[in-house]
Amino acid sequence: MNEIWAGIQEAVRLIFTLDADLIGITLRSLEVSLTALVIASALALPLGTWLAIRRFKYRRSAIAVLNALMGLPPVVVGLVVYLLLSRSGPFGVLGLLFTPSAMIIAQVIIITPLIASITHQAMRELWSEYHDLLISLNTSKRQRVAALIWDGRRTLMTAALAGFGRAIGEVGAIMIVGGNIDHVTRVLTTAIALETGKGDFALALGLGFVLIALTLVVNFATHALSRTEREGTW
């Protein structure tokens, strides 16, 4: 109990003294996770929508694979990305290992199936509602995807937030491909793991509370901007 109380005090101290390390780590966490989220959303939202409206031979298998990929173990993803980006790997020449870019790549791989799968579920329902209308209006496939994404944007926001939650809280993969290098690839989760290992539970807990607060702020801000509750009944 004392450690939790000390953790809260440490979190308050870190925030109110605008601790330079904390700000650096927090900004890096946001940079990595938000970049991964934007890239993953750009891939997953059209993919999930496309899977909802398109009928093809191996569609069911594709959806099953997508759902299975939601459970990808981050540590394994990290290991594979590490092998691909290491000097002896096929992309070693790019020199991306132990950089924020490598962490973004790993997070994109982890959260894309999650966002695509939630998108597919939501879009499948919307498509069954819109199907006859959009067909009767003689819309092209591109126009159908656009209409579904636009009208389902609030549900898609939830999908994106789920992806963000997974990305910002991820530790295994980014520890492997980022290396937790101070001022380079250290983010909130890897810093928490490090401080816990060192036995500095107060600082680890403090960083944990900052991480939780950050996630809540991003969620509230997104809901406020997208007016989810106000127009939720549309």
Residues that bind other proteins (CB under 8 A): 129-130, 132-133, 135-139, 143, 147, 151-152, 231, 233-234
Q: In the complex, what is the shortest distance from the CB of residue 140 to other proteins, in angstroms, rounded to a whole number? A: 9
Name the token pair of 21.
């390390």
Cβ proximity to other proteins, 22 vs 147, nearer residue: 147
Q: In the complex, what is the shortest distance from the CB of residue 135 to other proteins, in angstroms, rounded to a whole number? A: 5
Q: In the complex, what is the shortest distance from the CB of residue 156 to other proteins, in angstroms, rounded to a whole number? A: 12
Cβ proximity to other proteins, 152 vs 163, nearer residue: 152
Name the token pair of 59.
């569609």
Q: Which helix (H) or strand (E) holds 219?
A: helix 201-226
Alpha carbon distances (Å) from 38 to 160, 182, 184, 219: 9, 25, 21, 15
Q: In the complex, what is the shortest distance from the CB of residue 150 to other proteins, in angstroms, rounded to a whole number? A: 8
- Backbone φ and ψ for 31, nearest 5 degrees, come out as -60, -50
Name the token pair of 43.
């891939």
Cβ proximity to other proteins, 2 vs 138, nearer residue: 138
Rounded CA separation 41/100 (Å)? 19
